[in-house]
Structure 1
Amino acid sequence: MPKTESHIFLISSDAELYTTLKSICSHAQWTVFERGRGAIELLFNSPPDLLIVDNKMPDLQGTELIRIFKSENVYRQVPVVLCLDREEVDAGPDLAALEVDDFLVKPLDPGESRLRLELIMARASWELDANPLTKLPGNTSIIQKIQDMLDRQQEFALAYADLDNFKSFNDKYGFSRGDEVLMMTARVIVNTIRAFAGMESFVGHVGGDDFVFIVPPDKAESVCSMLVQNFDGIVPNFYDPEDLKQGGIHSTTRDGKASFFPLMAVSIAVVFNKKGELTHYGEASEKAMNLKSIAKKEPGSSYVLDRRQPA
């Protein structure tokens, strides 16, 4: 069922429908409206985590209410479920045009409905968290993944990677070409890890030029070495010939001073969770940030492994 703190709006005058849904999602907070028009103002002022709309209402058809709600761009990310009678399903309403995320058929099958609602909420969470450029999992998913592995006392290597001299590239060539570099970096990380078939891995995009990946401890150095090699082999293709010939870009620092910035490089810091050494995401993140400052002092692409062993 949806997460405990979820707030679900149900717009329906069907008492049986509410009773069934409440039994499926008993830990959610419910707000129920029997009429559509009475719900519209509250929907806009306090949008729910999930909106369930009965297509048959006394004053307003469910499809029309959804059109009104989805016409406001800011609310388009709220997942919407339309409840239909069997004959309405056979009539084939254009749910895609309505931006409806899923539908339920009355009378509800409790088991099937529970699974579908779980999937709807999960999809909404993934889509909201995903980085809009690379489509990789974002901060919330990254933290949840790391903490889950820590809670299960699973051994892993956690790597934080970012790009050196990315700002100077962005300043000269513009955000569009900068985005192309970020897309390339995401593909290089994913494809490098994919080359080590069969291992459990994870790749996330924190934001900007910051990435995270998780691999088994015994594969970390091999992955980093290949990643550096792959990145350095591709990144020169993003520069104009004159900049490539001189090995970098003439630009200004953050305080406005003219400076020369070498070709972009990738810096990687890797921390290990072995023998339950780490217990919280914050510990892993802090260690990785300290290590990354060491990696960034090295010229060109580099990686640093935390080789300290737990007692």
Structure 2
Amino acid sequence: MFKKKILVIDDTEFMIKLISDILENAEYEVIKAFSGAEGLLKVRSEKPDLVILDIVMPGMNGFEVCKILRDDESNNLMPIIMLTAQDNEEDKLKGLELGADDYITKPFNPRELISRVRNTLKRIDRNRWANPLTGLRGNIEIQSEINSRIARKELFAVLYIDLDNFKAYNDVYGFASGDRAIKLTADILHDTVKLFGSGKDFIGHIGGDDFVIITIPEQSENIAEAIIEDFDRKILDLYEEKDKKRGYIITTDRLGNHMKFPLISVSVAIVTNEFRILFSSLQVSEIAAEVKKKAKDILGSVYVKDKRKG
């Protein structure tokens, strides 16, 4: 497994050694720079996962370095933790305004340094893998979550949520309205899990109109029913009155033929290891594809739970 790479920019050898020793003991790879100019070169050549940046340095100070880094869009997702010897509110505010993610005041506790570094990296990783529209975690984290529950031999249920007739809606109402439907779905999933979930549930966005919820088996059907009820009520707000009244929309194909499509509904496929042993996230997704096909063959919003054994 690759170690996270951290660049420490400070003009004092003592402080760099102190920080390096703490981070290396915590299994991080440390790169050192003794000036702002050297630090900027190291950012370009080493591509660190995080920068710890001292504010008070001769020549180019930490604020100037932070501004230069943040002005370059390629560094947007690289977190910066500012380091200052003064418990000065103005310094902290200026650093945050320039785009710093956090700050540490010297002298600091080694445990505090590690906690701030770890939490910042975790937050940035979540942002990096999150869907930009919904803020939900994507495929890599979905697979990891399923595989980790399998490894821990936990009983779990995975709900695969898919919107029916979404493409037709997107074609007629436009991409902006399509995005609103996707965001509405994400909000419904979040609210439903908050009300009916186990407290340790996971919500993910595979992409497009496909979502995932990982929960405990005994809550899976309650969650599915609540999603359907809430979705069928709220999705109507995204339609014009004429389409709501007739219960369908009309679109035109490439040959100019008019086609009727029902309003968007939601299909939920539930896969669980209650009745059979599941070995991987790939196996779970393959079973879900079969179950989802059955759900989508039924008109309207519906859920289907796989209860096959073996």
Q: Same fold per TM (> 0.5)?
A: yes
Which residue is 2:169 aligned to? 169
Aligned counterparts of 1:31 and 1:224: Cα–Cα separation in 2 = 49
Judge conservation of contact 1:20–1:110 (CA < 8 Å) in 2.
no
| The one of 18, 21, 36 aligned to 1:20 | 18
Secondary structure of the residue aligned to 1:133 is: coil
Q: In structure 1, the residue corresponding to 2:64 is in which secondary structure?
A: helix
Q: Distance in 1 between matches of 2:164 and 2:90?
A: 57
Instruction: Decide whether aligned partners of structure 1 residues 214 and 91 sit closer, same or farther in structure 2, where only a CA change above 3 A counts.
Output: closer
Q: Distance in 2 between matches of 1:9 and 1:254?
A: 55
Matches within 5 A, 1:28-67: 28-44=28-44, 46-67=46-67
More displaced 10-residue stretch of structure 1: 264-273 or 144-153: 144-153
2:158 alignment counterpart: 158
CA distance in structure 1 between the partners assigned to 2:8 and 2:276 by the alignment = 44
The offset of 1:83, in angstroms, is 1.1
1:266 alignment counterpart: 266
The 5-angstrom pairing of residues 91-170 of structure 1 reads 94-170=94-170
Going from structure 1 to structure 2, the CA distance change for 1:257 and 1:121 (only over 3 Å counts) comes to farther
Distance 1:92 1:163, change over 3 A: closer
Tell me the equivalent position of 1:180.
180
SS in structure 2 of the partner of residue 300 of structure 1? coil
Structure 2 CA distance for aligned equivalents of residues 256 and 41 of structure 1: 59
Whole-angstrom distance in 2 between the partners of 1:138 and 1:197: 20
Distance in structure 1 (CA, Å) of the matches to 2:223 and 2:254: 33
- CA offsets 1:39-96 (integer angstroms, 9 cap, x no match): 3244245532101112233331011011001011231221001111136567655122
- State the distance in 2 between where 1:167 and 1:258 align: 15
1:81-96 paired onto structure 2 within 5 Å: 81-86=81-86, 94-96=94-96
* 1:12 Cα deviation from its structure 2 partner: 1.9
Aligned pair count reads: 308
User: How far apart in 2 are the matches of 1:114 and 1:28?
Assistant: 10
Change beyond 3 A, Cα 1:280–1:57: same
Matched residue of 2:133: which SS? coil
Amino acid at match of 1:83: L
Q: How far apart are the structure 2 equivalents of 1:255 and 1:195? A: 47
Tell me, in whole angstroms, the C-alpha distance in 2 between the residues paired with 1:282 and 1:257: 40
Aligned counterparts, 1:206-245, within 5 A: 206-245=206-245
Would the alpha carbon gap of residues 151 and 193 (structure 1) be closer, same or farther in structure 2, given more than 3 Å must change?
same
* TM-score in terms of structure 1 length: 0.89
Can you list the C-alpha shifts for 1:149-198, whole angstroms capped at 9, x where unaligned?
Answer: 11111101101111111111111111222122112211222222333265
> Which SS does the other structure have where 2:196 is aligned?
coil
How large is the RMSD of aligned CA atoms in angstroms? 2.4
Asked if 1:304 is matched to 2:304, the reply is yes
* Paired letter, 1:22: S
CA distance in 2, matches of 1:190, 1:94: 35
Q: Percent identity?
A: 32
- Is the aligned partner of 1:75 residue 2:55? no
- Give the 3-state SS of the residue equivalent to 1:43 in structure 2: helix
Q: What letter is aligned with 1:16? A: F
Shift of 1:199: 5.0
Q: Is the 8 A contact 1:160 1:268 kept in 2?
A: yes
Please name the residue that 2:249 is paired with: 249
Under a length normalisation based on structure 2, what TM-score does the superposition of the two structures give?
Answer: 0.90
Q: Secondary structure at the match of 1:25?
A: helix
SS at match of 1:195: helix
The CA deviation at 1:248 is: 1.5
Q: Report which stretch shifted further, 148-157 or 130-139.
A: 130-139
Gapped runs of 5+ residues in structure 2? none
Conserved 8 A contact 1:161-1:266: yes
The one-letter code sitting in structure 1 at the alignment partner of 2:139 is: N
The 10-residue stretch of structure 1 (156-165 or 268-277) with the greater mean CA deviation from structure 2? 268-277
